[in-house]
Amino acid sequence: MIQANVIVTDIDSTLVDQTYDLSPTAPYLHSFLGHGGYIVFATTKTIDEVLLYIHQWSLPKTRIFIVAEAGGLVAGIDLEKYDSTYRGYRILELGTRLREGDLEIVRRSKCRPRGYRDMDPGELEAVAGLRGKYAVAARNRWFTESLYSPDRECLVELGDQYRSMGYFVHMGRRFLTIGRIPGKRVGVRAVLEYSARLSTSGCTVYGFGDADMDTGMLEDADYAFLVPSYAEVVLRRSDYIKAPMPAPGGWIYLYEKYVHPRILG
């Protein structure tokens, strides 16, 4: 049986920095794919955002899988279990789509945070640095909402309320993300289980992440790599490797030193 090499990677603050520019790391993604590897983008971004990256950098979708909105859905062209199709991908929904009632607490909050759904592209550029079509794509959220307020303490309290009700909650550097989703780990496991190609071959998985929401998928990986970011993350496993610099340089450093030599045999 031929062993498949698979990179599972977060995007924000792991593969790209706050400019969201994939150009420093794209050549390494192409190199890995050119050596027969597969890539799973596991991210809080929407599927539309990830598809823009794939199109912009001409990444072959036959070798790309997506875990979008932190496990709300997984996408791949060869998923044997799926609910629907979307822009050429088979989609398996793992989360529950947010409804207006899910956001009622947000509207009653004292700091009145603004969600991506509420912001026009100009506001998203000002607050999140997302521009043009990427800002439009970020608003098309199915399972999660990302909330912004200059009152971080208020966001933390809001997150605690949602967590107490069983929602997924992640407090990032500037945004609070909530949703009825299982998390990235479940999403990555679904890709590996339901992909016709990956489920029938043994896989060597190289996991890259930067935040606490990445720890589950990194615990599952054969090789776990951390890119330093705004918050300290520690894995239960003792054999993980941490880059000496943030994204994108940290991701490139880890790939060149630990992944590329292994795929060359």
244: tokens are: 């000496």
Q: What is the pLDDT of residue 156?
A: 95
- Whether residue 127 is found in the same domain as residue 251: no
The closest of 207, 250, 230, 221 to 42, measured between CA atoms, is 207
Question: Does residue 1 carry a pLDDT above 60?
Answer: no
**Same domain, yes or no: 22 and 74:** yes
Helix H, strand E, coil C: the string for 202-213 is CEEEEEEECCHH
173: domain CATH number is: 3.30.980.20
* pLDDT per position as a tens digit, 167-210: 999 998 889 999 999 999 999 999 999 999 998 778 999 999 99
Same domain as 107, residue 79? no
Q: Which pLDDT score is estimated for 231?
A: 76
- The count of structural domains within the chain is 2
Clarify whether residues 14 and 141 are in a common domain.
Answer: no
Beta bridge partners of 65: 40
Q: Are 68 and 148 part of one and the same domain?
A: no
Chain-centroid distance, C-alpha 189: 14
183: phi then psi, degrees, rounded to nearest 5: 100, 165
Kindly report the CATH number assigned to the domain that includes residue 16: 3.40.50.1000
Q: Are residue 80 and residue 188 in the same domain, yes or no?
A: yes
Tell whether 205 and 246 lie within a shared domain: yes
